[in-house]
Amino acid sequence: MSKDSKFGLVVETADGSLSVKDPTIDEEYHSDGGALFEARALFIEASGYIGRLDRCFDTAILDVGLGLGYNALLSIEYWLAAEDPSHQTLVSLEKNSDLVAALASGDGPWMEGWSQDWLDLASKLEKKDANDDKVLWKATITHRNGKVLSWTVIVGDALDANLNDFSFDIVFQDAFSPQKNSRMWQSDWFQKVFDRAKEGCCLVTYSVARPVKDNLEQAGWQYQKIPAAGKKRSWLKAYKSSKS
């Protein structure tokens, strides 16, 4: 299926979940292998997030970018389903303010068929005005064990985002492709993330392009190709490490 919307062409991916082809980038937010499939297999499983939940570690995730919300909401779903997780911090970056508003209101055309749980979680986002005139959306979600997940969405150019109050354990690098959105794959971007990453921080992404690997390395990241699930052969996993 496919249908037009104000956000672009809504398309059904292989696992039945919906994505959107952004008209300004001329690219879909997800691979045709499945929006939900990619979120789970790459950003949740390959990143090691499930293991951190099992070991009850505090975890801070940088979600680059929020897009249609799959990565962020799936990470919250896993956190809520965990037996006894610790506190979590989720910071999502998104340039398109209309996407965030549609996600929070439940009006996104890609949200058709979403569970009520996901709709309820998205609706917890509330718009705030930051002191630096940047727009923030925030949500606080409480686990049954009393621990708290703090979700902040920073709207605007990710290169200008103030991340100084955070330090991250996991990075979801999900910013369209390097061919279509090259600024978000340059060494200066990876350096900015590196500076806010904890020792041992893991960054995962679908791109294994040579320039991406070179730019990660230039910014101090150590990377490796990992087997991909689905149609793609490989994904990329990078670490911040002081070891040579």
List the alpha helices (DSSP H) in the chain: 35-38, 49-54, 70-81, 97-105, 116-123, 187-195, 210-218
Would you say residue 28 lies in a domain? no
Mean pLDDT of the chain: 94
Would you say residue 7 lies in a domain? no
Would you say residue 20 lies in a domain? no
pLDDT digits (tens, 9 = 90+) for 37-85: 999 999 999 999 999 999 999 999 999 999 999 999 999 999 999 999 9
Would you say residue 146 lies in a domain? yes
> How many folded domains does the chain comprise?
1
pTM of structure: 0.96
3-state secondary structure 70-94: HHHHHHHHHHHHCCCCCCEEEEEEE
Q: Which pLDDT value is given to residue 32?
A: 80
Would you say residue 11 lies in a domain? no
Would you say residue 108 lies in a domain? yes
Is residue 63 a contact partner of residue 91, using CB atoms and an 8 Å limit? yes
Please spell the DSSP secondary structure of 13-41, one letter per residue.
Answer: -TTS-EEEEETTTTEESS-TT-HHHHIII
Would you say residue 24 lies in a domain? no
Q: Which pLDDT value is given to residue 131?
A: 59
List the alpha helices (DSSP H) in 106-204: 116-123, 187-195
pLDDT digits (tens, 9 = 90+) for 181-239: 999 999 999 999 999 999 999 999 999 999 999 999 999 999 999 999 877 889 999 99
Is residue 14 a contact partner of residue 32, using CB atoms and an 8 Å limit? yes
CA 165 from centroid of its chain's CA atoms = 18
Would you say residue 13 lies in a domain? no
Residue-number span of the structural domain to which 230 is assigned: 35-239
CATH of residue 52's domain is 3.40.50.150
